[in-house]
Amino acid sequence: MKNIQILFGAAIIALGFTSCKDEKQENAQKKIDSYVAYVDSVKNVAADDLKADWKAVDAEYDRRAAEAEAALADLKDNTAATEKINTSKTKYEEFKNEMTTVFAPPAPSPKQQLRNALFGEGKIGDDMNFDWVNAKNIHSVYQQFVHTVEDNKDKYSREDWDEVKLMYEALDSRKNTVEKEGLTAEDNRKIAGLKIKFAPMYTVNRMGAKSEENKDAKK
């Protein structure tokens, strides 16, 4: 945060270098120079510091940019000032796009992408914690799982099917606990139907995926 405070202060340095004829024009020029100086200062801050305070940095940019744009009306000849503002605006937008890429979280692994598809974004991580599955939602969890597998069965590799089986067994294990916590007979019946649908789909398609991989290996 200290670096960000220095950043905010750095732009103020520009305020001492204006020489306009009247106070209104002088203040307008100060706001424009302050905006330009701020954009230049942002680029000198370490990415880690920017990430920690990016919302504050971006909000301050918006404030200074709005002031600079409004100040143009107070200049008799604002051609040069307009060009300065546009140049800084382009510079900042390019830098912001660059930082957005830097700040973006890493893409999830293929295994995590598969888990996200089966259960929902971020529901199951490396800890394989199924505590969020309860008597009220377990039927819908099975539904999403089985329907997702059905929709993608022709795309899964053998390794994908192994992961699907691992997740299915973990969900079944959670069901054993949930059955003692108020799972209704109706939901239990519906889940049984989904399990009957999943079993042959898994067996046939995993065998098919393995056969395809063996063919590719021979080629």
Q: Which residue has the tokens 């209704």?
A: 184
The long-range contacts involving 98-106, CB below 8 angstroms and separated by at least 24 positions, are: 99/47, 99/50, 99/51, 99/54, 102/47, 102/51, 103/47, 103/51, 103/54
Question: Looking at residue 17, what is its pLDDT?
Answer: 47
Question: Looking at residue 43, what is its pLDDT?
Answer: 85
Question: Looking at residue 18, what is its pLDDT?
Answer: 43
Cα–Cα distance, 108 to 73 (Å, whole number): 49
Question: Looking at residue 5, what is its pLDDT?
Answer: 58
Cα–Cα distance, 55 to 37 (Å, whole number): 19
Cα–Cα distance, 100 to 20 (Å, whole number): 38
Question: Looking at residue 217, what is its pLDDT?
Answer: 47
Instruction: Give me Rg for the CA atoms of the chain.
Output: 30
Residue spans of the domains in the chain: they are 2-103, 110-218
> Distance of alpha carbon 171 from its chain centroid, rounded?
27
The long-range contacts involving 144-147, CB below 8 angstroms and separated by at least 24 positions, are: 144/118, 144/119, 144/120, 145/118, 145/119, 145/171, 145/194, 145/198, 146/194, 146/197, 146/198
Compute CA distances 28 → 58, 73, 103, whole Å.
22, 8, 34
Q: Nearest to residue 68, comparing CAs of 40, 39, 38, 28?
A: 28
pLDDT per 10-residue tile (average), the chain, 219 residues: 58 48 84 93 87 90 94 90 94 91 85 96 94 96 97 94 96 94 94 96 85 52
